[in-house]
Amino acid sequence: MSDMRSQAISFGLKSEEYDRIVELMGREPNFTELGIYSVMWSEHCSYKSSRAHLGKLPTEGPQVIQGPGENAGVVDIGDGLAVVFKMESHNHPSYIEPYQGAATGVGGILRDVFTMGARPIANLNNLRFGAPDHPKTPYLVNGVVHGIGGYGNCMGVPTVGGDTQFDASYNGNILVNAMTVGLVRADRIFKGTASGVGNPIFYIGSKTGRDGIHGATMASAEFSEETESKRPTVQVGDPFTEKLLLEACLELFETDLVVGIQDMGAAGLTSSSMEMAGRAGSGIRMHLDRVPMREEGMTPYELMLSESQERMLVVVRQGAEDEVKKIFDKWDLDCVAIGEVTETGRAELFWHGEQIADLEVGPLADEAPKYNRPYERPAWLDEVRALDVASLPMPDLDEAFRKVVASPNIASKEWIFRQYDHMVQTNTVQGPGGDAAVVRIKGTSKAVALSSGCNGRYCYLNPRRGAAIAVAETARNVSAVGGRPLAITDCLNFGNPERPEIMWQFVEAIEGIREACDVLETPVVSGNVSLYNETNGVGIYPTPMIGMVGLLDDVEKRTAQGFANDGDVILLIGETLEEIGGSEYLQVVHGRVAGDAPQLNLIREKAVQQFVRDVIQEGQARSAHDVSEGGLAAALAECCITGAEPRGATVRLEGGLRPDVHLFSESQSRYILSVPAIHAKRVLDKAASVGLPASRLGTVGGSRLVIEGMIDIPVAEINHLWRNGFAQVFEQGTHG
C-alpha cells in the first residue's frame, strides 16, 4: 500500500474512495490535498450516506425564500421581513468535553444564522442524556447546561426553548442539538458564494490555532474507548469574540461591499472556501501564510483543517478593502485579505509564494461518494412492539401519577433554563416551559412561535411514525400558542449507517418527516445529519429532532398552557385511545419500552390544529395545552400549576378505557382547552360542525386536582413534585 493510501485510511477514507481521488486528480494527492479531500468527503461534510434520501424531503412552499444548501434556511414572515433558522448537532464534542462542546455548538449555529445577514433573536437547545442514574449523567448535564449558558448568555441572544430527555440509549452518546432563529430584511440576505473574478477573499475573526483538527472526520466515526481520550481535538469557544464578530458582520452587511460570506465551521477553511467556490462555479487562490495564526510552526495542512472558532470567510467587491478593514478595526478583529476569486474552477493554495495544493473544486463537493447503503427492517422490532396491555398489573393510580409527574422527562426543566438568559432583547413574550416560545418582532404586531423536539422512544418503536409525530407535535405546540406553523429545520441523529437496521431507521424517519411536512405544509428549509452516534456497537434511539417555526400575525391573540380562571370549563379536543406503547407511564411505572408508537392521522392533526388556532383567534380560549408525554394526567397537572397562580380542577374521564390507560395514554392530536363557561357550548358545537371529537372534561377551581374515581391530589403537592423532580436528580452533580 502506498504511503498516501494508508494515510487516507487513517484520515477515515475508504480504499476505494482513495482510488477515486487519484482518478479525479490524475495523480496521487499530496498530504495537504489529501487532508482537504478527507474532510470534504467525510460523512459530516458530504452527507454521503444520507444524501440519497434527503432529496425526498419537501423543501418548497410560497413562504420559502431559501431552502437547504445554504448556511441556513429562510422563510418569509411578511412586512418585508424573514426569519433565518437552522439546527445543528454537536454531539461528539459535547460528550468528550461537555462545557466547550456545547458552547461551541451554540457558537457554530449562531454563526450559520448571522452569516446570512440576520440578527439572532432566539436560541433553542434539544438535549438527550443517558439514564438519570447513570454515573456520568449529572456531570454531562451540568457541563452542557453551563456551556450553553456560557456562550448564549454572553452573546445576548435569549435561549427560549428546546427540551431535555433522558434514556439509557444515550448513555454513551449524548445529543446536543442547537437551533438559532434570526431576523433579517427579506431583501438583505447574504449567501456563501465566491463569485466575481478578482474579488478579494478576506479572513476575519479569531486567529487560527490547532483546535479540532479532524473534528469533522471524528463526527463520522463511532466512539470507542480510544476516542474518549482524543481530548486535544476539542475546540474552545470565545463568545466575546463571537459577539464582536456578530456586530462587525452586521455593520458590514449595512454596506454594499459583501459578495458572499461563510462561517468556518466543521472542516474550517477547507469547507468554507471550497463550498463558496463550488456554489459560484468559480475558483480560488489563497495564500495560507497570510492566515492569522495563534501558534508557531503551523503547517498549511493544519491551517486548512483547523476548527478554531469565531472565524469567517468573506468575499468583498474589489476596491472595498479599506472600508472593510475599517469596520473590523473598530471591533479589534483580525481582517486579512488571503486570496482572490479566480475563473479557473480550481483551488490553488500557496505557502510563502510556493504552490502547495492544486485541486479542481467541482469534484470536492459534487463527486463526493454517495452511498445507497443497504437497509433492512430489524428482526427485533416485532418482539419489542408486542405489548399486552391487559397483562400489565394495575398500579395505585395516585402513586403512578406522582411518579410520572416527577419523572425527569416530564418535570419542570426550570433548573436548566434558569441558567439561560431567556429575556435579553426584551422580545420574549413567552419563554421556556410553555408549549412553544413566543418571540415578538419589534416594530410589527407579529411574533414567531418556536418549538423543537422529538420522542426517541416512539422513533425506536416505529421510526416512520415517530418522525412524523415529531413534526406534528412541534406544529401542535406552535398552534397551542396561536401560531401558524411555517417551516421546519431538522437534525437527524442516528447510529452507524453501515448497519442495515440503522439505515432502515433513517430511511423510515425520512419518510415520516416527508409525510408530515407534506400534509402540514411545513417544508424543510435547513438541516443537519449526525450519524455514527454509537459506542461499542450500541446505538442511540433514532432521534430526528425537529425545530418548528410558526407565525402569530397578532401577538395579542395568543394563549399559554396554565389555567387562568376558576369556573372555566375544561375541554378535550381530540380523542383518547388505548395507546401506551412507548409512553412515559410504561417506562417509569412498569419499566418497559415496548408496544407501538401512537397512531397519527395527519389530516385529523391538521384539522385539530386549525380548530384550536381559530378558537384562540376568536378569543374564546383562556388556555391551550398540547397533550403529549404523560398523557391527560400530566397535561392536566401542568395546566393546574403553570398559570400565574396554581389552580385546582375537577375532571371526569368517560369511556371504556382502563383507568391507567385513560390517564396516561399518549394518543396524538389532542389539546386541553379552558374556556369561559359561556363559550363552552359554542366551542363544542363548532368542533362538532367540523367533525372533530371534543368533550367537556370538567371545570377549573379548588385546591386539588380531582380526576373522579382515579386521582385526588392537592395541587400544592403536584407543584412540589413537578418543580423538584428534575433538580433532585441533578443538584448533587454541580461540582462535576
Partner 1 sequence: MKFGVLVFPGSNCDADCFNTIEQIGQPVRYVWHKETSLRGLDCVVVPGGFSFGDYLRCGAIAKQSPIMEEVRRFAAAGRPVIGICNGFQILTEAGLLPGALISNQSLQFVCKNQYLRVSNTRSPFTHLFRNGEVVEMPVAHHDGNYVADPGTLKELEDEGQIVFQYCDAEGRLTPESNPNGSVNNIAGIINRSRNVLGMMPHPDRCADALLGNTVGRKVFEGVLSKVGI
How many residues are given for the chain? Answer: 736
Identity of the residue, 152 or 544, whose beta carbon is nearer to partner 1 in the bound complex: 152
- Whole-number Å distance between alpha carbons of 147 and 417: 12
Close Cβ partners of 355 (under 8 Å, ≥ 6 residues apart): 348, 349
Instruction: Copy the grid coordinates of residue 574.
Output: 381530540
Work out how close the CB of 331 gets to partner 1 at its nearest, in angstroms, rounded to a whole number: 7
- Which entry of 44, 92, 287, 625 is annotated as an active-site residue? 44
* Closest separation in Å from C-beta 513 to partner 1: 33
**Minimum distance, C-beta of residue 552 to partner 1, in the bound complex (Å):** 12
Spot the catalytic one: 53, 90, 214, 422.
90
Shorter beta-carbon distance to partner 1: residue 419 or 695: 419
Please give the grid coordinates belonging to residue 327: 469596520
Q: What is the contact surface with partner 1 in residues (CB under 8 A)?
A: 146, 149-150, 153-156, 238-241, 243-244, 331-332, 417-426, 428-429, 440, 442, 555, 734
Using CA atoms, how far residue 170 sits from 127, 161, 432, 536, 676, in Å, is 10, 21, 24, 13, 44
Annotated catalytic residue 214: no
Residues 87, 225 contacting (CB under 8 angstroms): no
Least distance to partner 1, CB of residue 418, Å: 5
| Rounded-to-integer distance, Cα 77 and Cα 155, Å | 25
Between CA 306 and CA 288 the distance in angstroms is 12
Q: Distance (Å, rounded) from C-alpha 712 to C-alpha 704?
A: 7
Nearest CA to 86 out of 180, 191, 186, 183 is that of 180
Measured between alpha carbons, how far is 373 from 503 in angstroms, rounded to an integer? 7
Return the number of the residue (423 or 677) whose C-beta is nearest partner 1. Answer: 423
How many alpha carbons fall within 13 Å on the CB side of residue 346?
A: 12
C-alpha span between 380 and 593 (Å, rounded): 13
Q: In the complex, what is the shortest distance from the CB of residue 16 to partner 1, in angstroms, rounded to a whole number? A: 47
Q: Give the nearest distance from C-beta 290 to partner 1 in angstroms.
A: 25
Which residue, 678 or 735, is less far from partner 1 as judged by CB? 735
CB 142 within 8 A of CB 129: no
Interior/surface letters 685-723, b for 16+ CB within 10 angstroms, e for the rest: ebbeeeebebbbbbbbeeebbbbeebbebebeebbebbb
Closest approach of Cβ 442 to partner 1, in Å?
A: 8
Closest CA to 63 of 527, 528, 452, 525: 525
Which CB atom, from 601 or from 734, has the smaller least distance to partner 1?
734
- Toward partner 1, which CB reaches closer, 226 or 332? 332
44 catalytic per annotation: yes
Give CA–CA dist 451/437, Å, rounded: 7
- Write down the least CB distance from residue 415 to partner 1, Å: 9
The whole-angstrom separation of Cα 254 and Cα 319 is 17
**Shorter beta-carbon distance to partner 1: residue 10 or 240:** 240
- Select 36 or 555, whichever has its Cβ closest to partner 1: 555
Q: Which residues neighbour 485 within 8 Å (Cβ) at sequence distance 6 or greater?
A: 474, 475, 478, 479, 520, 521, 522, 548, 549, 550, 609
Nearest residue to 510 via CA among 460, 477, 450, 465: 465
Task: Give the shortest CB-247-to-partner 1 separation in angstroms.
Answer: 8
426 or 689, CB closer to partner 1?
426
Burial of 174 (0-12, 13-18, 19+ CB in 10 A): buried
CA dist., res. 261 & res. 117, Å (int): 9
Q: Which of the residues are catalytic?
A: 44, 90
